[in-house]
A and B are shown apart, each in its own frame.
Chain A
């Protein structure tokens, strides 16, 4: 098909829509459905060393041709492929709607519940606070911890909330307020079991600690199921993957993969991934987002697609519905991934300034070693659809990478201090980053290289960041003891 070179993405989109309409004209329903879907376009080019790459067209064909004019000849036919994007659109956050004081020390962690209805924060004043998302007012202050609350995590079905502190204590807040000395030293990470595994019980949580061990807990029976020991140094990050594996990254430069699937032996070490030359700081999974939000999916309006009535008497039925929804969502997510990407992908960032891309479910060898950062990498997050991942580093930059091949895409510069955290909007079109320079910055993905907006206002380093799963708001927690809520 001949297309003028000055055609933009919108033109291409209209073309795809009309083509798809032609294909199934008889089916009225699918017609309507396909019309709203936005697409992204990729051009196949061959690099000089013979590697075939797919490069995303961000603006118009002409711009693309100009940028790659020494690689793409204007004489040959350019092959374009299209991929569907999220229908659901998140509006960029630009202004601060609320500043919530309350904590009397630095805020170390903020997290939205998977349905986006609750916000929880943990601070250096040893309290866990719950906030009302709609009115931006405090709801509850929980003072059970005896030390700085380092991590917080909601279970994917939203039933439980866990927080862990520097003294190694784990507290599951709802419905049983039970304090447990979980570890000898401070807890570095928490991860809930994804809801679509283990028949939707979703009651297991794993904690990682500086003492070099991981523990799996059953929060319903309040038991420690197993201790995973094998690392020789502090464990810095833990993830519970969608395929039923546990991943732990440690300061001893290794990542270990453990079984946690139903029917398997719990906590058997499968393989050790070696490659990093220095302590590993963070892990990110392509399935992170879908596992975190479990059954909750959001319609374009930002309202939940399915509503699970919490007051219903038949708790089992609700739980079953949630399980069904989570399984369907996870399956849909897998189907949407392309080719090799069907496998779960893991990215690890380290103090040796590099990132590694792994296929941890099947291979021991890394897929790719990603270089470019000039300081330790502190945080990585996959976009919700798994197409990109962003890495935040102490070198004041955020780098954007292709989620499938690990190819470098863009450096986002603008921060004047170390970048601590990044968070994606749920449609994968925006990214926010929190930095030591007391600001957060909003970036449009993939077109923007400079920040779309700066979110100033904090008086000190921004430690914690989270984007609500329904896309409506961003919460930042800072050393200046306030939480700020940002909205469109």
Chain B
């Protein structure tokens, strides 16, 4: 045991070693290992005394940690009222058919905020005519070149029949015709496969719209009657616009986002 304050005195007179800080740090770091070694080795009454002391130390440690945590702990808020009130008869019925429910209020808010013609893909790369159409040679010797084959995915109505070859200027290959589209509802985050009703607008050209060509960014009309959307007058909404989000001719399917 040190007699008097000779350590402090020496330190005051001569200062500390250059590497004092480092040595104390290392010593402290080694302490846990030393302690553990001791506690594993010790037995008998000494072990009992040691264990008891250590238990007390740990208890105070836990308490201090809890005290420090108090500041950052999150407490259950008793005053908070849950969102989305439902009547007693619908409580505990979540998940039955809630997925299809559309919040009209949210819809209205969106409408007020956004411009009327805001669409998911605002800028569309125009498609040139020579990319869209392939020239088809015709005539006995194949020297006439007034026929065009559409190289993109098209939508033809239910009752479409091809014209007589003499008058058929644009050929829409049946392998590239699509009747159904995968439509994602942006608020519900769910995707449905719905029938296409028509092509509303192909931003590249009016001709493409008339031909029913679907490229990326095209606005199509889809049949949403099975989603159960209702207008305020209580009628079932069945035609809604959607915008194509992929390149259908490359993917072999039409993916789109519903415009709400």
Complex CA–CA separation, A418 to B85 (angstroms)? 18
| Contacting residue for A437 out of B89, B91, B108, B230, CB 8 A | B230
Knowing A147-B81, A456-B233, A480-B105 are in contact, say whether A189-B228 is a contact too (CB < 8 A): no
B85 touching A106, Cβ below 8 Å:
yes
Interface presence of B51 (CB below 8 A): no
- Report the interface size for chain A: residues with CB under 8 A from the other chain: 46
Chain A residues closer than 8 Å to B207, beta-carbon distance: none
Interface string of B223-236 (1 = CB under 8 A from A): 00000101011111
A140-158: contact bitstring with B at CB < 8 Å (1 yes, 0 no)? Answer: 0000001110110000000
With A459-B108, A460-B105 known to touch, is A148 a contact of B85 (CB < 8 Å)?
yes
Within 8 A of B (CB), among A411-426: 416-418, 420
Query: With the chains together, A279 CA to B89 CA distance in Å?
Result: 12
Residue in B78, B81, B101 with the greatest tally of chain A CB atoms within 10 Å: B81
The digit string for B93-106, where 1 denotes a CB below 8 A from any CB of A, is 00001000101110
Chain B nearest CB: distance from A106 CB in Å? 5
Residues of the B chain whose Cβ atoms lie less than 8 Å from the Cβ of A463: 86-87, 90
- A454 proximal to B (CB < 8 A): yes
Residues of A within 8 A of B233 (CB): 439, 454, 456
Cβ–Cβ < 8 Å partners of B104 in chain A: 438, 459-460, 479-480
| Residues on the A chain within 8 Å of B88, using CB | 108, 150-151, 186-189
A373 at the B interface (CB under 8 A): no
B87 interface neighbour in A150, A457, A480, Cβ under 8 Å: A150
B112 at the interface (CB under 8 A from A): no
- With A438-B104, A459-B105, A460-B104 already in contact, the answer to whether A108 and B81 are too (CB < 8 A) is no
Contacts of A234 in B (CB 8 A): 92
Expressed in whole angstroms, the Cα–Cα distance for A436 and B78 within the complex equals: 31
Residue contact A109 to B230, C-beta cutoff 8 Å: no
Within 8 A of A (CB), among B65-96: 78-79, 81-82, 84-92
Complex interface bits, A182-217 against B, C-beta within 8 A gives 1, otherwise 0: 000011110000000000000000000010000000
> Which residues of the partner chain A approach B85 to less than 8 Å between Cβ atoms?
105-106, 108, 123-125, 148
Smallest Cβ distance from A435 to chain B, in angstroms?
8
- B contact residues, total (Cβ < 8 Å): 26
Partner of A417, one of B82, B89, B90, B228: B228
**Which residues from chain A contact B91 at a C-beta distance below 8 Å?**
150, 166, 186, 188, 210
- Cα–Cα distance between A454 and B234 once the two chains are bound (Å): 8
State A189–B82 Cα separation when bound (angstroms): 20
Chain A residues with Cβ under 8 A from B103's Cβ? 460
Q: Which residue of B lies closest to A441 (CB)?
A: B234
B87 touches A146 (CB 8 A): no
| Chain B interface (Cβ < 8 Å from any Cβ of A) | 78-79, 81-82, 84-92, 97, 101, 103-105, 108, 228, 230, 232-236
Can you list 12 A-B contacts with CB-CB less than 8 angstroms, sorted by A residue number? A106-B86, A108-B88, A150-B91, A166-B91, A188-B88, A378-B89, A379-B89, A439-B233, A458-B232, A460-B104, A464-B87, A480-B105
Kindly list the 6 A-B residue pairs having the minimum CB-CB distance in the complex, ordered from nearest.
Answer: A124-B85, A439-B234, A456-B233, A148-B85, A150-B88, A108-B87
